[in-house]
Amino acid sequence: MHYGGIYEDEIVGKAYDRRLMGRFIGYLRPYRLLVVLTLLLLPPMAAARLAQPYLLKLAIDNHIVKGQMEGLPLLAGWFLLLILAESIFTYAQVWLLQYVGQKVMFDLRLALFSHVQRMPAAFFDRTPTGSLVTRLTSDVEVLGEMFAAGIITIVGDIMVLVGIIGIMLWMNLKLSLVTFSVLPLLIWVAFTFRRRMREAFRQVRARLANLNAFLAESIGGMAVVQLFNRQAREQNEFTRLNASYRDANLPVISWDAALYALVETLSSVAVGIIVWYGGGEILQGALTFGALVAFIQYIEKFFSPIRDLSAKYSIMQGAMAALERIFNLLDREHGEPLGSTRGNGVSLLPPPLMGGGEGEGDRQVERIEFRDVWFAYSGDDYVLKGFDLTIRRGEVVALVGETGGGKTTVTRLLSRLYEVERGSITFDGTDIRELPLKDLRSRIGVVLQDPYLFTGSIEFNISLGDGRARQRVEEAARIVGADRFIRHLPNGFGEEVRERGVNLSAGERQLISFARAVAFDPEILVLDEATASIDTASERLIQEGLRGLMAGRTSLVVAHRLSTIQDADRIVVIHRGEKMEEGSHQELLAKRGLYYRLYQLQFRD
- For 113-144, b where at least 16 C-beta lie within 10 A, e where not — what string? eebbeebbeebeeebbebbbbbbbeebbebbb
386 phi, psi to nearest 5 deg: 60, 40
Residue-wise pLDDT tens digits, 399-439: 998 888 888 899 889 988 888 888 999 998 889 988 888 88
Instruction: Reduce the DSSP state of residue 38 to 3 states and report it.
Output: helix
pLDDT at residue 531 above 90?
Answer: no
User: What DSSP character marks residue 352?
Assistant: P
Instruction: Pick the range with the lowest mean pLDDT from 136-150, 233-247, 504-518.
Output: 136-150
Q: What mean pLDDT comes out for the span 49-62? A: 79
Nearest alpha carbon to residue 313 among 195, 206, 194: 194
Residue 152's pLDDT is: 65
Mean pLDDT of 82-99: 86
User: CA-to-CA distance for 427 and 331, rounded, in angstroms?
Assistant: 32
Q: Is the pLDDT of residue 20 over 70?
A: yes
Residues 528-555 have a mean pLDDT of 68
More confident call, 595 vs 228:
595
Nearest alpha-carbon partner for 215 in 243, 235, 230, 229: 235
The model's confidence at residue 336, banded by pLDDT at 50, 70 and 90, is low
- Note whether 439 and 347 are within 8 A (CB): yes
- Say if residue 355's pLDDT is above 50: no
pLDDT of residue 562: 79
Distance CA(442)–CA(348), nearest Å, equals 10
Residues whose CB falls within 8 Å of the CB of residue 254, separated by 6 or more in sequence, listed in order: none
For 26-46, write each residue's pLDDT tens digit: 888 888 898 888 888 888 888
Burial class (CB in 10 A: 0-12, 13-18, 19+), 172: buried
Report angle CA 187, 264, 195 to the nearest 5 degrees: 40
Given a cut of 90, whether residue 8 has pLDDT beyond it is no
pLDDT (0 to 100) of residue 6? 40
pLDDT of residue 190: 67
> What confidence score (pLDDT) does residue 541 get?
61
Backbone φ and ψ for 368, nearest 5 degrees, come out as -110, 130
The closest of 583, 553, 591 to 389, measured between CA atoms, is 583
User: Cβ(407)–Cβ(400) under 8 Å?
Assistant: yes
Q: Say yes or no to pLDDT of 268 above 60.
A: yes
Output the pLDDT for position 372.
92
pLDDT in tens, 292-320: 787 777 777 777 777 666 566 667 777 77
Going by pLDDT thresholds of 50, 70 and 90, the confidence category of residue 374 is very high
**pLDDT value at 340 more than 50:** no
Alpha carbon of residue 450 to chain centroid = 25
pLDDT tens profile 58-78: 877 777 777 777 777 888 888
Per residue in 456-467, pLDDT tens? Answer: 888 988 888 888
* pLDDT above 70 coverage of the chain, percent: 83
| pLDDT band at residue 153 under the 50/70/90 scheme | low
Tell me if residue 366 falls in helix, strand or coil.
coil
Predicted confidence (pLDDT) per residue in 496-530, tens digit: 888 777 788 877 888 888 888 888 888 898 988 77
User: At 13, is the secondary structure helix, strand, or coil?
Assistant: coil
Q: Any idea of the CA torsion for 284, 290, 292, 298, to the nearest 10 degrees?
A: -160
Of residues 470 and 603, the one with the higher pLDDT is 470
> Residues 382-404: pLDDT tens digits?
889 999 999 998 889 999 988 88
Angle at 243 between CA 237 and CA 246, to 5 degrees: 145
Is the pLDDT confidence value at 345 over 80? Answer: no
Domains delineated in the chain: 17-330 (1.20.1560.10), 366-443+523-532+553-605 (3.40.50.300)
pLDDT of residue 471: 86
Checking if the pLDDT of 189 tops 80, the result is no
- Read off the pLDDT of each residue in 123-146 and give the average, rounded to a whole number: 78
d(CA 57, CA 64): 10
Could you report the per-residue pLDDT of 567-590, keeping only the tens digit for each? 888 999 998 889 999 998 898 888
How large a percentage of the chain has pLDDT more than 90? Answer: 6
State the pLDDT confidence band at 472, using cuts at 50, 70 and 90.
confident
Mean pLDDT (the chain, rounded) = 78
The pLDDT, as a whole number, for residue 353 is 40
- The structure's pTM equals 0.70
